[in-house]
Structure 1
Amino acid sequence: MKIFKIKKLTVILIMIIIINLLLGFKDPSPSAESAVLIDSKTGRIMYSLNHDLKRPMASTTKIMTALLAIEHGDLDSIVKVKDSAVGVEGSSIYLAKNEEILLKDLIYGLMLRSGNDAAVAIAEHISGSIDKFVILMNEKAKDIGALNTNFVNPHGLHDSNHYSTAYDLAIITREAMKLDFFREVSKTKTWVANREINQHFLNKNDVLWDYKGGDGVKIGYTKAAGRCLVASATRDEMQLIAVVINDGNWFNDCYRMFDFGFENYKPTLLISKGQFLKKIKISNGYKDYFNLLSEDDLIIPLKDEEKEKAKIILNLPDSLSAPIYKGQKLGNIQVFLEGELLHTAEIKSMLEISKPKSKNNFIKFLKSIF
C-alpha cells in the first residue's frame, strides 16, 4: 500500500511538471540581487526581480560609453592616446602614450576586451575630458528614461555615486541596439585592430558561444558590484534583453530568462506595413485628403491568451493643413493590454503634400463659389 501511494504521488508530481511546461509557467528564478527581461523592440517587461534597485554595475557601464562614442564620433577618426588613458586600473587593451588608433578599434576594445583604458581614451576624444563626458552620459540616461542611474566615470570602476538598475541598463541597451554599428560590435566574437601589438580582441561574453541566438552584450565585475551581465538573444525576429546584477550564476540565469521569454511570448503582427490607418482631410493642399498607411509592421510580443485582449488606439488628427512633409510626425499608435500601455509607435507621413500653386488656388476659389 505504501509503495502504491509513493507511485501515485510520483505520477501526480510528473503530471504537474508536464502541465507547467506545456502552459509555460516556469519562473526563471534567477539568483541575482536584481534582474529584468525585456523585449528589445517594444521595451515590454517580461520578467523582473527588484528591477529598480540601485546597485553598482561595473563594466556594463561601457554600453553607454559605446553608445555615445557611436552617436558623437567619427568611427574612422584617429584617436591620439593621452597619458591619462595609459595604465588604467583593471581590464586593458594596453594603450601606449601618443599611440594613434581608430575610434572604431577603441570601441571594439571597449566592448570585447572591456578595456578601461579604451573607455578613458574614448571619453577624452569625444568630450575633451572625462568630467565632460560623464555629463553627456547622465544627460543621455535621463533622455532615455534611465532615471535611477548616475555615472561618474566611463568604465565602471567602483565609486559609491556610480550606480544603475537592472531596468535602466536594459533600456540603455535597447537604445544602443537601435544603432547598426553597436549591434555589429555587440555580437562580434573576435576582432583584429589596426595596430602593431595587442591587436587581437576576443569577446569575453560567453552568451555568443553558449546560447542559440545569443548576440550580445556586455559582462562586468567588481568586488562591490558582483557579477553583472547584460545579455541579448534573437529568435523568430524577436530580440530579448536580459540583465542580472550581483549574480554568481549570471550566464545560466540569463539563459533561463531567455527560455522563459521565448517559450511564453510570440511576436504577434497587429498592423501590417502598408495597411490603411485613416483618411485625413487636407486644407490648403493640392489634394483634399490622403489615405494614411502604416510605414512598418507593428509586431508586439504577446502570450497566446493575450492576443484577443490587445487593443489598438490610433491618435491621429481628422484634418491637417498643407504643407505636409515626408517623415513628418502625425500622431501615434498605442497598444494596450487590459488597461496597461504596452507600446507606443510614432506615425509619420509617407507622402509630401505641398500647397497648390496660385492658379490652382484661384480655380478652387471659383469652384467654391459655383
Structure 2
Amino acid sequence: MNKTGSLVPVIILVTGLFLNVHFAWGQAPAITAQAAVLMDAETGQVLYDKNMHQRRPQASTTKIMTAILALESGKLDQVVEVTPKAASVGESSIHLRPHEKLTLEELLYGAMLRSGNDACVAIAEHIAGTEANFVNLMNYQAKLLGGYNTNFCNTNGLPHDNHYSSAYDLALFTRYAMKNPKFREIVKTRYKQIDGPGNSKRHLHNTNKLLWGCTWADGVKTGTTNAAGCCLVASASMNGRHLISVVLHSDDRYGDTKKLFAYGFNSFEEIVITSKGEYFTTVSVEEGYARYAPVIAEDNLYVLVPKRKRGVFEQRVILKRTLTAPVRAHSKVGRVTVLVNNQEVGSVNLITGCAVDRLPRHFLIYRKLRQHL
C-alpha cells in the first residue's frame, strides 16, 4: 500500500440503478453506403455502424488530417511559395502556379472548400519540407488518435493501393478536428474569396452541398474517386447536441447522411449518469483525521439511449478499497464505465471530494498501542 491507497481495486458491477427503463429503437435507416458510422461528437459514442472498421479508399476526406496538421504545426499568416511540384498536381485543384505566394490560411480554404489537391501538397512542403515527410506525420497522428485502420500515402486522397481509412477512423479524426475553432470555421464556410495570380481572385465554393440547404449542417468534407466512390464526412448540431456522420462509397451520400442525422437526433435521448462534483460514495481512510473521504465525479457523464427500448444500463465501478492519509483533494480513486446494451458508451473518473490530513505521529503510535492492549 502507498500513500494514494491500495493498488488492488475493488470492482463493483451495478445493474440496478438505471435499469427497467423502456426504450424504443427508431428504425435504423437503410442507406446505400458500403460503410458508415454515426458518432456523438461529445462522447464518441457510436449510434450507428455499418462496416465501420472496414478499410476502404477514402478519397479527399484525407484532407481532414492534412488540415489538422497544418493548423497545429503552422501559422495561418505564414506566406507559402508554391513549388513547381505542388503546382503540377492534377485532378481537383485550385490551379496554383509555380512560385505563386499565398498564406497558409488561403491554402487551407483551397484544400477544404474546393478540395484542391495542389493546395495540400503546397501545405505539406511548407510544413515538413516534402510531402513524404508530411505523410509520415499524418500516419503518426492517425495512430495517436486511435486510427488503427488508416494508412496515408499522400496528403489529398489521390488513388493509391495502400492509401485507406475506415468510417470509424475518419469520425475519430473529425471529432478531434472539430475541437479546433479554426477548423470548424473553415469547414462550415460555404464561399470564400482568396488571392489568385497577379491581381486576380479565386472564388471557392464548398463542395459539401449540405451546407447550402441544411441549417443544422456545419461541415466537414466530401471525397470522390472511382475506387472510393462518393464519400462524405459531415457534422451537424441541433438542440445542444453535435453528431458526426461518415458514409463511404455511397450511391446517395447526401440522402444517406440526412437519414443518419435524422436517426441520431430523433431516435435517441440523453440520459445524465452523473454530474461534475456530484457525490458518488465514500472510501475509507487510514491514519487520517477523518475515517472516510467523499468520492465525487470528476466530470459530467451522459449517454444516448434509444427511446422507449426495453434494455439495461450497466454501470461498472472500479474503486480503491482504502486510502492512507494524507489524501489530497481531487485525487483519482476510481472510474465509472457505463454500458448500454452491452456496449461501452462512456466513462468518468472518480476523485476525492476533499483532503484528509494525516494524524500526528504520536497519536498514531498511541492508537497502535491501544490496539495491542
When normalised by structure 1's length, the TM-score is 0.80
Q: Identify the residue that residue 151 of structure 1 maps to in structure 2.
A: 152
The percent of aligned pairs where both chains have the same amino acid is 39
1:208 Cα offset (Å): 1.6
Structure 2 counterparts to residues 67-106 of structure 1, below 5 A? 67-106=68-107
Aligned mates of 1:185, 1:111 — CA distance in 2: 7
Corresponding letter in the other structure for 1:319 = L
2:191 aligned with 1:190, yes or no? yes
Q: Identify the residue that residue 364 of structure 2 maps to in structure 1.
A: 368
CA contact (8 A) 2:24 2:308 kept: no
1:63 Cα offset (Å): 0.9
Aligned mates of 1:314, 1:46 — CA distance in 2: 23
Q: Identify the residue that residue 37 of structure 1 maps to in structure 2.
A: 38
Q: Identify the residue that residue 300 of structure 1 maps to in structure 2.
A: 303
Aligned residues: 341
Q: Identify the residue that residue 7 of structure 1 maps to in structure 2.
A: none
Q: Identify the residue that residue 264 of structure 2 maps to in structure 1.
A: 261
Aligned mates of 1:80, 1:287 — CA distance in 2: 66
Question: Which has the larger helix fraction?
Answer: 1
Q: Identify the residue that residue 271 of structure 1 maps to in structure 2.
A: 274
Q: 1:283 to 1:90 in 2, by over 3 A?
A: farther
- For residue 246 of structure 1, give the secondary structure of its aligned residue in structure 2: strand
5+ residue gaps, structure 1: 1-21
Q: 1:282 to 1:121 in 2, by over 3 A?
A: farther
2:323 aligned with 1:319, yes or no? yes
Q: 1:309 to 1:225 in 2, by over 3 A?
A: same
Task: Name which structure has the greater RCO, CA cutoff 8 Å, separation 6+.
Answer: 2
RMSD: 3.2
Q: Identify the residue that residue 216 of structure 1 maps to in structure 2.
A: 219
Q: Identify the residue that residue 4 of structure 2 maps to in structure 1.
A: none
Q: Identify the residue that residue 6 of structure 2 maps to in structure 1.
A: none
Larger CA deviation: 40-49 vs 259-268 = 40-49
1:82 Cα offset (Å): 2.3
Residue deviations 1:6-53 (CA, integer Å, cap 9, x gap) = xxxxxxxxxxxxxxxx96543321112222222222222222222233
- For residue 39 of structure 2, give the secondary structure of its aligned residue in structure 1: strand
Residue deviations 1:342-367 (CA, integer Å, cap 9, x gap) = 2234567898x7x99xxxx8x83344
- Stretches of 4+ aligned residues off by more than 4 angstroms: 278-292, 320-326, 328-331, 346-351
Q: 1:97 to 1:329 in 2, by over 3 A?
A: farther
Corresponding letter in the other structure for 2:234 = A
Q: Identify the residue that residue 16 of structure 1 maps to in structure 2.
A: none
Corresponding letter in the other structure for 1:235 = M
2:203 aligned with 1:229, yes or no? no
Question: Which has the larger strand fraction?
Answer: 2
When normalised by structure 2's length, the TM-score is 0.79
1:296 Cα offset (Å): 3.4
Corresponding letter in the other structure for 2:212 = W
Aligned mates of 1:286, 1:217 — CA distance in 2: 55
CA contact (8 A) 1:280 1:320 kept: no
Q: Identify the residue that residue 61 of structure 1 maps to in structure 2.
A: 62
Q: 1:203 to 1:347 in 2, by over 3 A?
A: farther
